[in-house]
């Protein structure tokens, strides 16, 4: 995804929130954050796959982004104890 595409998606998400307050004027921030989180996850996955292509055979084929996320979570849990 190009920088311009990222900026366009980000702008679309924020604009949608600001254009749609509820009846008493509260903005749907929860939905906005969920969409932003999804965009960030998409970018992380894209970066992971690009890195995987660069190093090629150094990673086993079974080492997927989901397994990478699990590994990062395990590191976070280790740091908490």
- Name the token pair of 41: 């996850």
Q: With 80 as the cut, is the pLDDT of residue 9 above it?
A: yes
Q: How far apart are CA 79 and CA 51, in angstroms?
A: 25
Q: With 80 as the cut, is the pLDDT of residue 39 above it?
A: yes
> Tokens 């307050």 map to which residue?
21
pLDDT at 59: 65
Contact yes or no for 43/6 (Cβ under 8 A): yes
Determine the angle formed by the axes of helices 65-80 and 29-55, rounding to 10 degrees: 110
pLDDT at 33: 96
Q: For residue 1, which of 38, 56, 55, 32 has the smallest C-alpha distance? A: 38
Average pLDDT of the residues in 52-79: 74
């Amino acid at each position: 995804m190009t920088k311009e595409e990222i900026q366009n998606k980000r702008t679309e998400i924020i604009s949608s929130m600001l254009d749609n307050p509820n009846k008493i004027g509260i903005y749907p921030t929860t939905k906005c954050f969920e969409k932003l989180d999804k965009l960030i996850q998409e970018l992380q996955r894209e970066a992971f796959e690009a890195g995987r292509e660069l190093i090629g055979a150094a990673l086993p084929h079974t080492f997927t982004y989901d397994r990478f996320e699990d590994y990062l979570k395990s590191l976070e849990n280790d740091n908490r104890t």
